Structure 1
Amino acid sequence: MLAIKNNYKNLIYILIVLLNINYINCKWKIWDKDLDWWQTTVIYQIYPVSFQDSDGDGKGDLEGIKSRLDYFTETGVKTVWLSPIYKSPQIDNGYDISNFTDIDPMFGTLDDFKSLMKAIKERDMYILLDFVPNHTSDEHEWFQKSVKRIEPYTDYYIWRDPKQVFPNGTNAPPCNWISLFGGPAWTYNEQRQQFYYHKFTPQQPDLNYYNNKVREDMKKVLKFWLDLGVDGFRVDAVKELTEDPELHDELCLPQYTTCDNDYLKMNHNYTGDWPDTYGVIYQWREFLDAYAMSSPNKHTRIMLTESYSSLYNVMLYYGNGTNEGIQLPFNFHLMYGNIELNSTVYKYLIDIWYDNMPEGKWADWVTGNHDFPRLANRVGSELLDGFAMLSMLLPGTSISYQGDELGQTNSMIRKDQKRDSHNANVRIQRDAGRGPFPWNDTPNGGFSTNKFTWGVVNPSYWEMNLEAQKKAEKSHYKVYKQLIDLRKKPTIQRGDLNVYLVSTWVLAFTRRLPRNESYVIIVNFGSEIEEILLGKTIPNLPDKLSVAVSSINSDYKDGEILDTKFSIHNPSKLLILRPKASVVLTTDTTVVPTTAPENITSTTPTSTTPKSNSVHVTSDNYLTWFTLINTIIVNYFRKYF
C-alpha cells in the first residue's frame, strides 16, 4: 500500500484499469451553430522576453514581436497571446505587477504597444494579453497605500492580525496556509502591524475580492486594454482568486500523517478553487460581453482561464446553468502526456473532457506553456507531430507555445544562469522551457545580437531553427503549417468525433461531416512498429484513403493512396506505422454518402448497451473518478517531472 501511495504513476494505471478501457465513445456531435473567430483560430503563446530582441540588449521586446508578425501570417496563426508585459520589478518574471496599465521598460513603451496593435490589426489578426488578477507587486501604488491605511485602499489586500503574540515578541500567522513557492503564505508588515496573505512570493500580495472596489478597479484594467484593441485575456492562476474568509487551517492529504509544511502534502481546499471565485469570473464574462455589444466593433472579446484543478472545478468556469462563464477554460489533458502513457489513457483523457463539458460549450487543447518543460522533452521529438495532430484536429481550439512547432527542446541551464528562483514547491525548472526562439543559424539563432541573452539559447540553434525547417523537405514546422491549413476544413471545424483503441499503443479518431471529406487520424504512441487493419478497426471506411499529412518519421508521403480493405492475398494493404509515427488520412467527398448513416454522424453509438467485456461508466462516475485521477496526475507531474 505504501508503494501505491508513493507512486502516483502506478495508481493512475490501476484506476484506469478499474474503469476498463472499452467505455463508450465521447459525446461530441456535429457542431451546427455559428462559429466565432476564437473557435477556428490557433492561439499561439508568445513569451515576449525570449521571442525577438530588437535593440540588442539581449531581451525580447514589443518591437521584436512586431518585426516577426509576418511569421504568423505565413504560418496561418491568427491569434497571439502575450505573457505579461506590464510594469514589474520582475521578482517573478513579470507576474508581480506594479502597474496594470503600463508597459515594462524592458519591453518598450505604451506607444510601442499601440504600434504593435496597429500592425496586428492590419494583418487581420487577434491579440490576447495575460491578465494577472490574483495579486499585485508589493511596489504597486495600491499596496503602498494599503500599508498606510489610506482609503479606499485599506482593505484592497488580505490583512489579518496575528493569531498569537509570543512572549519573545514574535507573531504567529493567522493560520497555517503555505505559499506555492515555499514557506508561510503570511508575511508580517511592521508598519501596519498586521500580516498580509500571498499565495506566491512575499512580493506578490493577494488582492481582496470580497472588496467590491477591487473588482471594479480590475474591470477598469480590462477596459483600458480593450480600448486599445485587445481581443481577450488569459487569466493567470485563477483558482487562487478567492480564499476562505474564515481562515480555516488546511489539513494534510489523507495519505500523509504529517505535512511538514510541504505544499504538495496539503489539501488546499481553503485557498484554491474556493466557490466565490466563479462569481468573479462570471462578472468578468458579463463585463466583456457588455463591452463588445457597446463598442463599434462588436466581435466577441474572449477570456481563457488557467487552473490546474479537478475536472469538476474546471468545468464550472464554463458557467453554472444560471451564469454564463468564460469561453475557454484551459484543457491541460495533453500536457500530462509522457512516454509511459498508452492509447487507453489518451482515449480516456480525450473522452472525459467532452463527456463532462456542458452542452453547447467549446473545447480547447493545450500542448505546452512557459511553466512546463518543452513538449519535445516531455513526449520525445518523435511524437511531436502526433501531439500536434491531436491538438489541431480534435474538436476545439488549439493552443500552442512558441517554439514547440519546431520541436525546440529545453535549454541546458547552469546554476549561475538560473532566473526562476521561486518555484520550490512544484519542483519544475521552468527556465529550461523559456529559451529564446531559434529563427536561423546566425549567432543566438537570430534572437539577439547581444552575446549575453536573457535566457540561455539552445546550442542546437545552428541546425534546429525555423529557417532550416522551412528549407527541409519534411519538418515539424511544415507539419504544423499543414495542420493549420486543415483546420480551415468544415469537417475539422464542425465534424463529429469517434475515438478508437486500435491497439495498446495506437489511437485513432475520425472526423466526419455529411457532404464533406472525412478524416482518420492515427497516432502510434509505442516503441514498436504497428501493423493496422484499417477496414476492420474503423467502420464505414471507403476502399481507399489518401495521406493528407504525415509525421516526419512516417514512411508515408502526402498524397499517397492507401487501401483500407485487407486481403490475405495482399498483405501490403496493412497500414504500417513506425514507432511514434502518425498520419492523417482523408477521402474525397464523392465517397462520403450525402446522407451519412447514423453511426457516422454521431459519436454516440446507436446502442447504449456496453459490449460484453465492457463496464458502462456514467458521466457522473467519470466526473468522480476523474476528479481523483486529475489531481493525482497534477501532483505526479509536479512532484516527479
Structure 2
Amino acid sequence: MDAGVNTYWLGPIYKSPMIEGGYDISDFNEVDPLFGDMDDFKTLMDETKKRDMHVILDFVPNHTSDQHEWFQKSIKKEDPYTDYYIWRDGKLLPDGNLTYPNNWLSIFGGRAWTWNEERGQYYFHQFIKHQPDLNYRNNFVRQDVKKAMKFWLDLGVDGFRVDAVNHLVEDKALRDEPYKEGKYGSENYDDLIHLYTRDQNETYDVIYEFRRFLEDYRRNSLDKHDRIMITEAYTDINKLMLYYTNGTEFGSHLPFNFLLMDDATIDSNAADYVSIIRSWVDNMPNGHWLNWVGGNHDNNRIATRMGDELVDAFYMLIMLLPGTAVVYQGEEIGQQNNLLRSDQIKDHNNIKGGIVIVRDPPRGPFLWDDSENAGFTKAKIPWEPIHPSYWESNLKTQTSSKQKTHYQVFKSIAKLRSQSTIQRGYLNTYVISKWVFAFSRELPGFETYIIVINVGSERELVLLTDTMPLLPELLVVNISSTNSEYEEGDRVTTKLTIHDRWKPLVLRPKASVVLIPLYNETLPDEPSTNKPIKS
C-alpha cells in the first residue's frame, strides 16, 4: 500500500506436480502444499480485505496436468470425460506404422502430440507433454472450468488473470500448419505459420462466455462489484482488440498490453516509443480501458533489458499513461535478473527447437532488506536464488536512503496516479527530437502534466515550444528520475532564454522528468549578460 498498489496478482497456487512451475494443475480446487493450505489462503484473503485491497488469481484454462483426475478418467474413456481432451488416432504410414495426426509443434519444442499406450491414441498439448490441452468444443469442459472459477470467487477473489488464452481452441479439422519460406519439414515452433493452433474464432467465443459468467456472478452477488478478467495473449494488435469485444459481445476487461515490454528495445528512438503508445491507444475500441505492462515472470526485468538508467522512465510511462499499470514484483526497486549457474535452474521446459530459453533469471525473490535471504524467507535455501546485490539494494535501504532511489521515484509516480488528470485526463504524444519524446495528460479545470523522456545516449537540450507551442514560458519539475540533475520544485523554461536563473530543460542520457506548466507566471524582465544556450 505504501507503493500505491491496490491489487495484487498471485501466480498459480493450485495443487500441482510442479513440472511446469504450477501451470500444470492437478486440482483446481486445492492449494498446493508448497504454498500452505486453504486456511492459509483464507487468512490471506481476510488480511487483504482489511487493507481495502484486491487479489487476482492466475487461472490456467488451456490445459491441466496429466495427473488431473479428468485426464486419468479420459484415458480410460470414462464418461463424461472421454472427450475432455483432444485425442486422435495416428496416421497410418505405407509401412504399417502409425505417426502423428498432423505436423503441429509444441511451443516448448518437439511434436505437440504424445502417444498414450493405455488409450491407444495421441493427445494434443500446446506446451509440455505433461500439460494435455482441454477440449473447449465439449460443453462439459466449459461448465467445469467455470465451476472452478466460481469456487475461488466464492472465497473472495476479485477476478482472474487468464493464462495463454489464444491457445484455447484449435482447428477442428486438424489441418497441417504451413511452413515459413525455406523451412519445410522444420521442427522449430517458430518456423510454422500458426493458422490453426492460435487465435481461432471460437477462442473469442470462450472468452465472451467467461465474461458473461463473471457478469452473472456480479449480478447475483451481495456486493455487486465487478469481478475482473485479464487475459494473456501474445499476438498481433488487431487480434488482441477482439479480446475486448467483437462489437456486440464483451470479453476481457484488460487484454494484457505487452507492447512496451516486447517492442521497446535499446535501439528504439523517440518516434518508435510514440508509435508503440499510439498503436494501442488508437486501436482500442471506444469505451474500453487501457493497460500497460512493464514486465512479468516470463521476460527479462526492465533494468536488465533496458539498463538501470531507464527504470524510472519506464515507470513514468507505465503509470502515467492512461489506464491500469501492471508492475512485476521487484521492478519498483530496479531489481535485475539473477545470473544463475546451471545447477540452479528450475525451469527446464521452455525449449524452442532445441534452444533453451531459461525463464528463471527474472523470477528471483523480492529483495525486502539486507538480512539473510533478503528477508524473503526463513528457509535456508529459497526456491529461486536471492540476487546477490540484496545487501546493498533492497526495499528497506531504498526507502530510507538520503539519496534519491528508484523506489522513492516510484512512490512519487504512484502518488500522482490519485490525481484526476492522471485518472481521467486526455493524452497527447510528441516527438521532440530523434531521441526525446513527451506526452501530456490534460483535463479541463485540473493540473496539466508533461512527461519528457530522453532515450538517447547523449545529453539533450529540450525546447518544448518547438512542438508544444501553447505551453507557457515556465514549468516546474514535479518528479525527476534518479539520473536527472533536477529536483522537485526546480523551474525550467520552454524556450531559449538570456536569463541567468531561468534556463531550458536539459536531460542527461536516459533521464526523465514530470513537469507542471506555470500558466500564471512569466519570465522576469531583467536580461543576463550571459550568452544564450546553443542547441
TM-score by length of 2: 0.94
CA-CA distance at 1:86 after TM superposition: 0.4
Is 1:211 aligned with 2:141? no
For the residue of structure 1 that corresponds to 2:28, the secondary structure is: strand
Q: How many angstroms does 1:74 deviate by?
A: 1.8
Amino acid aligned to 1:483: I
1:388 and 2:315 aligned: yes
User: Would you say the 8 A contact 1:373–1:429 is kept in 2?
Assistant: no
Q: Aligned partners of 2:496, 2:76: CA distance in 1, in Å?
A: 79
> Which structure 2 residues correspond to residues 146-225 of structure 1 after superposition, within 5 A?
146-164=74-92, 167=95, 170-225=97-152
Structure 1: distance between partners of 2:183 and 2:85: 33
Distance change (3 Å), C-alpha of 1:532 and 1:259: farther
After TM superposition, the structure 1 = structure 2 runs for residues 24-423 of structure 1, keeping only pairs within 5 Å, are: 73-164=1-92, 167=95, 170-254=97-181, 256-336=182-262, 337-423=264-350
Contact 1:412 1:456 in 2 (8 A): no
Match of 2:478 among 548, 556, 567: 548
Are 2:363 and 1:437 aligned? no
Partner deviation per Cα, 1:308-336 (whole Å, 9 max, x = no partner): 10111100000101111211000001102
Please identify, of 299-308 and 558-567, the stretch whose mean Cα deviation from structure 2 is larger. Answer: 558-567
SS of the residue corresponding to residue 58 of structure 2 reads: strand
In the aligned structure 2, how far is the partner of 1:588 from the partner of 1:232?
Answer: 42
Distance (whole Å) between structure 2 residues aligned to residue 212 and residue 166 of structure 1? 37
Q: CA deviation at 1:454?
A: 0.7
Shift of 1:571: 9.5
The RMSD of aligned alpha carbons is 1.5
Distance 2:185 2:432 in 1: 43
- The corresponding residue for 2:533 is none
Are residue 530 (structure 1) and residue 456 (structure 2) matched? no
Quote how far apart the aligned CAs of 1:362 are.
0.9
Higher helix residue share: 1
- Structure 1 residue aligned with 2:496: 566
| Residue 202 of structure 1, CA deviation | 0.6
Give the corresponding residue for 1:13: none
Mapped partners of 1:563, 1:428: distance in 2: 48
Amino acid paired to 1:174:
P
For structure 2, the residue ranges without an aligned partner over 5 or more in a row are: 522-535
Query: How far 1:134 sits from its partner (Å)?
Result: 0.1
Instruction: Report the Cα offset of residue 590 of structure 1.
Output: 6.3
Distance 1:589 1:149, change over 3 A: farther
Between 329-338 and 577-586, the greater mean CA deviation after superposition: 329-338
Distance, in Å, in 2 between the alignment partners of 1:283 and 1:147 is 28
Amino acid at match of 1:261: E
> Which residue is 1:496 aligned to?
426
Say if 1:535 and 1:566, in contact at 8 Å, map to a contact too.
no
| Contact 2:110–2:187, Cα closer than 8 Å, also in 1 | yes
- The CA distance in 1 between the partners of 2:232 and 2:252, in whole Å, is 11
The correspondence of residues 439-588 of structure 1 with structure 2, limited to 5 A, is: 439-473=368-402, 474-568=404-498, 573-587=503-517
CA contact (8 A) 1:517 1:589 kept: no
TM-score w.r.t. the length of structure 1 is 0.79
Shift of 1:469: 0.3
Query: For the residues of structure 1 that align with 2:185 and 2:302, how far apart are their CA atoms?
Result: 32
Name the SS of the counterpart of 2:360 in structure 1. Answer: helix
Does the aligned pair in 2 maintain the 1:562–1:573 contact within 8 Å?
yes
Partner of 2:530: none
- For residues 266 and 464 of structure 1, what CA distance do their matches in structure 2 show? 44
Distance 1:230 1:170 in 2: 50
Give the paired residue count: 517
Distance in 1 of aligned mates of 2:469 and 2:223: 46
SS at match of 2:478: strand
Q: Distance in 2 between matches of 1:126 and 1:315?
A: 26
Distance (Å, rounded) in 2 between the aligned partners of 1:590 and 1:128: 45
Q: Distance in 2 between matches of 1:213 and 1:368?
A: 35
Deviation digits for residues 11-44 of structure 1 (CA, Å, limit 9, x no counterpart): xxxxxxxxxxxxxxxxxxxxxxxxxxxxxxxxxx
Cα deviation, residue 534, structure 1: 2.0
Cα shift readout 1:504-545 (whole Å, capped 9, x = no counterpart): 111100111111000000011011000011233323212222
Answer whether contact 2:472 2:518 (CA < 8 A) is retained: no
Q: Which deviates more from structure 2 when the two are superposed, residues 419-428 or residues 216-225?
A: 419-428
Q: How far apart are residue 375 of structure 1 and its match? A: 1.1
- CA separation in 2, counterparts of 1:534 and 1:76? 30
